[in-house]
Structure 1
Amino acid sequence: MTWAENSTVRATGRLVIVAVFTATAIQNCASSLDSGYRVPGIVVAAVAGALIAWQRVPWYVAPVVITAATGIFGWVLLPLLALVLFDLTVQRRTNIALLFSAIAIAVTAFAPAQATPQAIEISAMIIILALPMLAGMWVGHRRKRIAVLNDEVARLKHERSLGEDRARAKERARIAAEMHDVLAHRLSIIALHSGVLEAKSATLPAPIGDRLTLLRNASTQALSDLRDLLGALHESPEDLPTRPVLVDVDDLTEQARAAGQDVTLVVDGTSADAPVAHQLAVQRIVLESMTNARKHAVGGSVTVRLTYGPPVTTVSVDNTLGSASSDAAPSGYGLVGLRERVLALGGEFEAGPTDEGGWRVSARIPHPHPVEQDWQEK
């Protein structure tokens, strides 16, 4: 925050300026007015300065009082009148400021406390009063422009926040759809095999047959729960993937190379070493990063490094400096969605420029602790 934006500093600065101009008016009264008008002029100057400093009075009080006082005491109160005219023009009351200045100049010619001013003195008064009005008009316009820009910035921030919220919600729905595709397949296999074994339960001990029935019913119910959960998390099923979503990163990089992109893939471990949720996150990060590189770093190279762990799955995608594509769309909320996905898995996500001028996207996702189950045979 600059000093001009600090309300306390601005208020203090205004009080100092009012004090200086009031002191100048008082000095004018003490040195220029006749003895019969000297003390009243000093008192009026002090009161007028207090009215300008005390901004809780109605806006028209100070202009009226100082204009009337100028009609009595003359040009000695011009410093305070200049302040009043400045305030009026800052408040975008330019027509009213012109009216008060015209009245002040006219009544000064008949001020009983001073001799009738000459034409050159009238011209000087006009210039003295015109300068603060011009300055006030400039300050008022600038403040209005700053207020408009601040409102625009606040609106853009709000829209950005709403866009990020929508991106996070969309990513959560995507996660639900992807996990549905993967888990539904595995649960259906469990239900199928448990059903086959249940059909042969007559040749198995009764406790094992009961367990098989329970397993089949539980897997069938889990499939139904998955469908219900997916419907609750997303209101537009037509937007969700309709094909298997688990794609190997090798295939993604090969497709990118076929499209002419320079991609290097370095893998430590195999995808089977990581949970399915980690594999999906890695796939999304690599796909989004390579897409961004194609749009914003044409001609640059991309290096993908994967470590499947355990104990952690790590992925980093670095692209070197390149030129922006001529049809590149403005940056969206892809990184917001990636961050939401990684944080949902308890990981860490970073994205930003490198020292060499490129861009890096990286994530570190810890593996879940293994759950040990004790089975007792009956």
Structure 2
Amino acid sequence: MSWRESPRWAAIGRWGLVGALTVVSVQSGAVAAGGRYVAPCPAAAVLCGVALLARRPPWPVAPLLTTAATAWWGWPTMGLLLVALFDLAARSRARVALVCLVTVLGVNFLTAPEYSLWRPQQYGSSPFLLLAMVGGLWMGNRRRLVEALNTQVEHLSVERELREEAVRAAERSRIAAEMHDVLAHRLSLIALHTGVLATRSDAVPAQVGERLALLRTASTEALADLRDVLGVLRAPDSASAPVLREVDELVDQARAAGQRVEVRLDGRPEEAPAAHRLAVHRLIQEALTNARKHAGGAPVALRIDYRAPATTVEVTNSPGVRSPDAVASGFGLIGLRERVTALGGDLRTGPGASGAWRLTARIPHPTGSERNGNRT
């Protein structure tokens, strides 16, 4: 909103205009009264000005006063009548404004006061009165249009915030579901191996056998609790196998689709936690998809480092041809940032110094105490 459209400046401008018109009307009324300021016409001009500037009077007060004063005296108070007609038209009361206009012209025509609106030219005042109404109609329509546009912008802003929140919630659910798969797989292995060792009572001491049985019971109970808490996040038709796909599959699919992809891999995926590998898979998937949509034909360079102290991903692509079917929503990056942040990492996206688009992510590896579940 510009300074001209701010309510404060609009109020100041109205006070200045009505004040100036009131002074002119008082002066003209005094001239019509033979130079006397203490007369009915100047007093009527002051009352009309006060009614136009008052904050919360009944809306018919100002139109009635200005109509009556102009109908009785004519030109001295016509300026204030113009303001009243403008206000009525701007507030969608054009019919009332038209009635006031016809009343003023009709009374002036019948009574023929000294300063009648029909003098010195027969229709001299009519264009001014009609222009005031037309201006009020235009201003009212413009104000209503601006309010409707502001409301629409607010609705779109709220809708976008809700969509972003839905994307974040969906990404959290996906992370929880994936971690449910991974942890369930690991706990199942622990329960299986401890169960096998516990059955060989002749090969292990009795105390060790008791510890193994306790460990097997604890892992089984933890697996059941995990399934109860996180299993509800899984979609009914989703697979139950752990989702630990490697990046090679995504690269092969991208190359099959015609993308030129160069990969630099440091370390082995097994050196990073399972949650990091899942995040890397999603980062590469989203980066390749965005490059295919927004930079078609441009080469893509991938650099992945699984080694401690942090898993890092860097994807760079030069400018290319934007796909005509591409829709820039930005919600994919929002979900990725939610995932990386949940792992304690940092995600950055944007154009680089050479104009190429760059996505970088750094996810620190957990410390030894965190690996053992002894977070402080």
TM-score, normalized by the shorter chain, greater than 0.5: yes
The aligned counterpart of 2:10 is 10
Bigger mean CA deviation after superposition, 262-271 or 107-116: 107-116
* Matched-pair contact (CA < 8 Å) for 2:73–2:116: no
TM superposition shift of 1:118: 4.1
* Alignment partner, residue 62 of structure 1: 62
String of CA shifts for 1:311-339, please: whole Å, max 9, x gaps: 22222322222222233345362122111
User: Which residue type is aligned with residue 50 of structure 1?
Assistant: V
Counterpart among 264, 288, 291 of residue 290 in structure 1: 288
- Does the Cα contact within 8 Å between 1:41 and 1:73 map onto a contact in 2? yes
Call closer, same or farther: CA 1:325–1:117 in 2, change over 3 Å: closer
Q: Check conservation: 1:178, 1:241, Cα contact below 8 A.
A: no
Q: Which amino acid aligns with 1:231?
A: G
Give a deviation string over 1:35-89, Cα, whole Å, max 9, x none: 5786322222122111111131111110011101112221111111111111111
State the alpha-carbon separation in 1 of the partners of residues 82 and 276 from structure 2: 71
Q: What does residue range 325-364 of structure 1 map to in structure 2 within 5 Å?
A: 325-329=323-327, 331=329, 333-354=331-352, 356-364=354-362
Q: Does 1:197 find its partner at 2:193?
A: no
The alignment partner of 2:367 has SS state of: coil
Q: Report the 3-state secondary structure (helix = DSSP H, G, I; strand = E; otherwise coil) of the residue aligned with 2:323.
A: coil
Show the counterpart of 2:266: 268
- Cα distance 1:152–1:69, how it changes in 2: closer, same or farther (>3 A)? same
1:119-268 pair list within 5 angstroms: 121-233=121-233, 236-238=235-237, 240-268=238-266
User: What is residue 28 of structure 2 aligned with on the other side?
Assistant: 28
**Local SS of the residue matching 2:368:** coil
Q: Say which SS state the counterpart of residue 176 (structure 1) adopts.
A: helix
Other-structure match for 1:104: 104
Mapped contact 1:73–1:112 kept (Cα < 8 A): no
- Counterpart residue number, 1:302: 300
Q: Which runs of 5+ in 2 are unaligned?
A: none
Listed one character per residue, the Cα deviations across residues 219-276 of structure 1 (whole Å, up to 9, x for unaligned) are 1122212211223445x432x4554421222332222112210122233333223221
* Partner amino acid, structure 2, of 1:248: E
Partners of 2:148 and 2:83 in 1: CA distance: 26
Partner of 1:251: helix, strand, or coil? Answer: helix
- Give distance in 2, aligned partners of 1:297 and 1:347: 27
Total equivalences in the alignment: 372
CA drift of 1:115 comes to: 4.6
DSSP 3-state at the match of 2:74: helix
**SS of the counterpart of 1:167?**
helix
Distance 1:341 1:111, change over 3 A: farther
CA distance in 1, matches of 2:318, 2:157: 30
The structure 2 residue matched to 1:368, chosen from 340, 363, 366, is 366
In structure 2, give the amino acid aligned to 1:319. Answer: N
Measure the CA separation in 2 of the matches of 1:10 and 1:357: 46
Instruction: Give 2:81's aligned residue.
Output: 81
- Contact map agreement 2:73 2:115 (CA 8 A) in 1: no
Change (3 A) 1:338 1:243: same
Distance in 2 between the 1:302 and 1:120 partners? 82
Query: Matches of 2:360 and 2:147 in 1, distance apart?
Result: 39
Instruction: Indicate how the Cα distance of structure 1 residues 373 and 338 shifts in structure 2: closer, same or farther if over 3 A, else same.
Output: closer
User: 2 CA distance for matches of 1:329 and 1:30?
Assistant: 70
Measured against aligned partners, the alpha-carbon deviations of 1:279-308 in whole angstroms (never above 9, x if no partner) come to 111110110111122122212222222233
SS for the counterpart of 2:243 is coil
Q: 1 CA distance for matches of 2:351 and 2:60? A: 56
SS of residue paired to 2:124 = helix
Percentage of identical aligned residues: 46
Quote the Cα distance in structure 1 between the aligned partners of 2:240 and 2:295.
31
Structure 2 CA distance, aligned partners of 1:32 and 1:310? 95
Structure 1 counterpart of 2:93:
93
**Deviation for aligned residue 1:204:** 2.1
- Where 1:266 maps in the other structure, the secondary structure is strand
Measure how far apart 1:179 and its partner are.
1.1
Structure 1 stretch displaced more, 62-71 or 97-106 = 97-106
Aligned residue identity for 1:352: G
- In 2, Cα distance between equivalents of 1:113 and 1:38: 20
**Gap change, CA 1:116 and 1:61, over 3 Å in 2:** closer
C-alpha separation between the residues in 1 aligned to 2:83 and 2:154? 33
Three-state SS of the structure 2 residue aligned to 1:318 is strand
> How far off its partner does 1:117 sit?
5.0
Which residue is 1:114 aligned to?
114
Alignment RMSD: 2.4
Summarize the Cα distance change of 1:355–1:73 in structure 2 as closer, same or farther, 3 Å threshold. Answer: farther
Deviation at 1:8, TM superposition (A): 2.0
- Relative to the length of structure 1, the TM-score reads 0.90
Asked whether the equivalents of residues 75 and 117 of structure 2 are also in contact (C-alpha less than 8 Å), the reply is no
Q: Does the 8 Å contact 1:313/1:366 carry over to 2?
A: yes
Cα distance change of structure 1 residues 2 and 307 upon mapping to structure 2, 3 Å threshold: farther
> Alignment partner of 1:85: what SS?
helix
* Change in CA separation of 1:23 and 1:367 when aligned onto 2, cut-off 3 Å: farther
The 10-residue stretch of structure 1 (273-282 or 247-256) with the greater mean CA deviation from structure 2: 247-256
